[in-house]
Amino acid sequence: MSLEFLPGSTLGILGDGLTSRTLAQSAHNMGYNVAAYSRNPDAPVLAEADYRFVEQGNQQTEFESFMALSSMVTYTSSWLPANMITELQSARLPQGTELLELTDDHALGRAFSEAQSFNILPYATVSSLDEVAHAAAELGYPVVVKPIFKHKHHDDTVILRGDWDLGLVAPMIDGGTLIVETWLDDAQEFAMTAVRGVTGEIKTYPLRQTMVAQQHLRRAWTVGDIADDLMTVMLGVTERVGDVLQFIGAYNVAFFYSATGNLYVRDIAAGIPPTATLYDATTNVPVAEQHLRAITGQALTDVFMSQAAVYMPFTTDQIDALSRHWGIQSNWKFAFYQNEMMSPQAGHVLACGSSANQLFNQLHVAGVWEFEE
């Protein structure tokens, strides 16, 4: 079936993050009208939309109007309510909903990875405190415990380092299912973003490494040297995900690399993660533009890397220190969000140069961010 979607048509965008706003800007540049839906009147995408639908209360009247107006719908994040995922199954949605369902349900996601023979961390599903204790003992401490459904408790994650920590799980026991999974200390985290088109071609973006720093804000940077065998595995996993699911659009595969040299698939998600902003400065085609090309039936653009970059989020408290560098750092690109909805993150810096190591030295000396020694 052709997914041809001509300029002048209306693209409906779901997602409250900044990548939705970026996608709306790219859609306008391609000649499309933009409809945006949110339950939050401060969602960044609404400022860029031609048609705005803001839901109030528990009704879905605005969502129904949004769907009726949109000739095609897309989403930039996997964090969509379960009832919305169900409604989207009848929409003109090139991405489909299968990957959304795998992302939302930890057990389904792990079952998919196991079916593809991807290496994942050992885990168990449980529903009582006794079962948590048994699973933790079987897996070996430390373990992480989290709800099976991401949409149910976005922030409920507990790390247990011994049986003395089991009491931390008690508030999570509500009759639902939990996941108990091996926790890796000192693991490196990598991510690969890819875009798959309607013909099955896949364009992958350069590998990036990520880490969570202060206030749970995630940093990211381009990877210079990495073992060929690791790169081959990560590339193979990423491409297989797109092919098996017949996915169209942008998606992301995240990996753990343990201190003992083992590689694990950490997460598979549809959409455009915030750290993919890194590629706006390092490649010839932003992910948002490539995603639009995919879902509208256009040929995809070959991806070329032109330079290294580091993505550094900052908070409001860091703006004064950051301001000392506005007239100094010619290789820094500043982005200020001016949206309290994104708190605690107030913006980000993209530092660009010949190598990530050199850029980190520059950022360390700048005195804006804290770094582990």
CA-to-CA dists, residue 159 to 103, 143, 155, 207, 316, angstroms: 21, 6, 12, 28, 29
DSSP letters, 164-183, are GGGGGGGGG-SSS-EEEEE-
What integer pLDDT is reported at residue 339 of this predicted model? 85
Q: Name, in order, each residue with C-beta under 8 angstroms of 51's C-beta and a sequence gap of 6 or more.
A: 10, 33, 34, 35, 36, 66, 69
Question: Is the separation of the CB atoms in 180 and 143 below 8 Å?
Answer: yes
Question: Is the separation of the CB atoms in 281 and 309 below 8 Å?
Answer: yes
Helix-helix angle 18-29:287-295, to 10 degrees: 60
CA-to-CA dists, residue 93 to 43, 54, 295, angstroms: 21, 20, 8
| Token output for 273 | 């993660």
Question: Is the separation of the CB atoms in 31 and 7 below 8 Å?
Answer: yes
Residue-wise pLDDT for 298-319, tens only, equals: 999 999 999 999 999 999 999 9
What integer pLDDT is reported at residue 331 of this predicted model? 97
**What secondary structure letter does DSSP report for 369?**
S
Fold of the CATH domain 188-366: D-amino Acid Aminotransferase; Chain A, domain 1 (3.30.470)
Q: Name, in order, each residue with C-beta under 8 angstroms of 115's C-beta and a sequence gap of 6 or more.
A: none
- Name the strand (E) or helix (H) holding 19: helix 18-29
Q: Where are the domains of the chain?
A: 10-93, 122-182, 188-366
Strand arrangement, sheet containing 10-14:
51-54, 33-38, 10-14, 72-75
- Candidates 106, 300, 268; CA nearest to 198 is 300
**In whole angstroms, what is the distance from residue 205 CA to residue 3 CA?**
23
**What secondary structure letter does DSSP report for 117?**
T
What integer pLDDT is reported at residue 312 of this predicted model? 97
- Name the strand (E) or helix (H) holding 98: helix 98-104
Residue 313 DSSP SS3: strand
Q: Name, in order, each residue with C-beta under 8 angstroms of 155's C-beta and a sequence gap of 6 or more.
A: none
Residues in the chain with pLDDT < 50? 1-2, 153-154
**In whole angstroms, what is the distance from residue 357 CA to residue 114 CA?**
36
What integer pLDDT is reported at residue 357 of this predicted model? 95
Residue 361 sits at φ, ψ, to 5 deg, of -60, -45
The superfamily CATH assigns to domain 122-182 is ATP-grasp fold, A domain (3.30.1490.20)
What integer pLDDT is reported at residue 2 of this predicted model? 44
DSSP letters, 232-297, are HHHHHHHHHHHHHHT--EEEEEEEEE-TTS-EEEEEEEES--GGGGGHHHHBSS-HHHHHHHHHTT
Q: Name, in order, each residue with C-beta under 8 angstroms of 185's C-beta and a sequence gap of 6 or more.
A: 142, 259
Place of tokens 């373990």: 143
pTM for the model stands at 0.94
Q: Which CATH architecture describes the domain 10-93?
A: 3-Layer(aba) Sandwich (3.40)
CA-to-CA dists, residue 136 to 145, 157, 265, angstroms: 9, 15, 20
What integer pLDDT is reported at residue 91 of this predicted model? 84
